[in-house]
Amino acid sequence: MGNAPAEISLAYLRNGAAQLIVSNRNATFFKDVKNPDPANSTAIVSDSLATFSLPTGTKMAMGNSTQTIIPQALTPAGGLFPRSFKISPNGDVVAVGLQQSGRVAIFHRCMDTGMIGKEPVASVEGLGE
């Protein structure tokens, strides 16, 4: 199986600009991510979250669009197969459900730039697949 998106979500910056965030399953671009287990120094592999900027004034609607999205960042998802993710109501936290890793990784998201942190600020382990 190749790379496949699992979830796509609209997010906003403090200034009201819009972004798209996409979880990428089976896209293990990151091979040396810090292990979320503090007792284990072995690096883990991670799939990714892609962030795209949307042009100012973009209105999300079904159908054809001539708007261009702009790649902004590719960040580690914190493990394998990010099945779903949720952005907190104020937009500064992203929680990622990692299907094959059996964990939820929680990242800080900068409200000025939209950048998602490279390392989780917290995680919940042992959730199964």
Residue 1's pLDDT is what?
Answer: 61
Residue 20's pLDDT is what?
Answer: 93
**Nearest residue to 76 (alpha-carbon basis) of 129, 23, 7, 13:** 23
Compute the distance between CA of residue 101 and CA of residue 7 in angstroms, rounded to an integer. Answer: 17
Per-residue pLDDT tens over the stretch 29-50: 888 888 888 888 999 999 999 9
Strand partners, 105: 96, 123
Residue 27's pLDDT is what?
Answer: 80
60 SS3 class: coil
Residue 82's pLDDT is what?
Answer: 94
Residue 76's pLDDT is what?
Answer: 95
Both structure tokens of 113 = 């730039």
Compute the distance between CA of residue 77 and CA of residue 54 in angstroms, rounded to an integer. Answer: 21
Per-residue pLDDT tens over the stretch 60-108: 554 555 667 889 999 999 999 999 999 999 999 999 999 999 999 999 9
Compute the distance between CA of residue 38 and CA of residue 46 in angstroms, rounded to an integer. Answer: 17
Residue 99's pLDDT is what?
Answer: 92
Residue 57's pLDDT is what?
Answer: 60
**Nearest residue to 11 (alpha-carbon basis) of 76, 83, 107, 92:** 92
Ordered DSSP codes for 64-98:
------EEEEEEE-SSS-EEEEEE-TTSSEEEEEE
The pLDDT-based confidence of 28 (bands split at 50, 70, 90) is: confident
> How many CA atoms does the CB half-sphere of 116 hold within 13 Å?
33
Mean pLDDT within 18-25: 93
